[in-house]
Amino acid sequence: MSKPRYAEAVKLVISIFSAGIKNLNESIEVLMVQFGKPDFISTRMPFDYTDYYEREMGQSLIRRLVSFELLVRPESLPDIKCLANQIEDQCSEGGQRRINIDPGYISPAHLILATGKGYTHRPYLRNGIYADLTLLFSDKTFRSLPWTYPDYAGSQMIGLLNRIREKYLLDLKMMDNGLVIA
């Protein structure tokens, strides 16, 4: 019989994109109030996106990937996604989003993103939020799956996520030594 135990803390990662740098910076500041100091913020990242985002948010979208020093509990993901939705709503103009905030987490085995859209590979969590198994970690790198969004399957994104995972594993070791409190 298996003995239930709590999952270890995970590394919060948030992808944010917008046509305006002001919205990006303001959203990162709000997230810092909630989750503390970032330990990684990417520079401008090109990414594949559908014209759906362009119609809603404008052209020349800018993406930033952010991770935070403090680790979080994986079961907090629905709360984090609901907060992200609130920030998106506050930044909207005329019923149109001006920013997109996609939170997720890195564990030793995978990248999970939060979404409000259910599908076969997205188990329901709570509060209308589903977990999207986006990438698996295998053979020393993240690997895409048949349903992985193209921008998460790209080599630049995977390289960044691998680096964030390395930092996360160091954070876990420090926690085991009593040096970091999450």
Residue 44 has pLDDT above 70, yes or no: no
Collapsing DSSP states into helix, strand and coil, what is residue 98? coil
Q: List, for residues 83-93, the tens digit of each pLDDT value.
A: 999 999 988 88
Check whether 40 has a pLDDT greater than 90.
no
Question: pTM of the prediction?
Answer: 0.90
DSSP string, 1-17: -PPP-PPPPBEEEEEEE
Q: Please tell me the predicted confidence (pLDDT) of residue 182.
A: 40
- Report the interhelical angle of 77-91 vs 21-35 (nearest 10°): 140
pLDDT tens digits along 123-176: 999 999 999 999 999 999 999 999 998 889 999 899 999 999 999 999 998 887
Contacts of 2 (CB under 8 A, 6+ apart): none
pLDDT at residue 177, as a whole number: 57
DSSP per residue, 6-52:
PPPPBEEEEEEEES-HHHHHHHHHHHHHHH--EEEE---B-----HH
Residues 124 and 135: their CA atoms lie apart, in Å, by 18
pLDDT at 30: 92
Q: Where are the domains of the chain?
A: 11-176
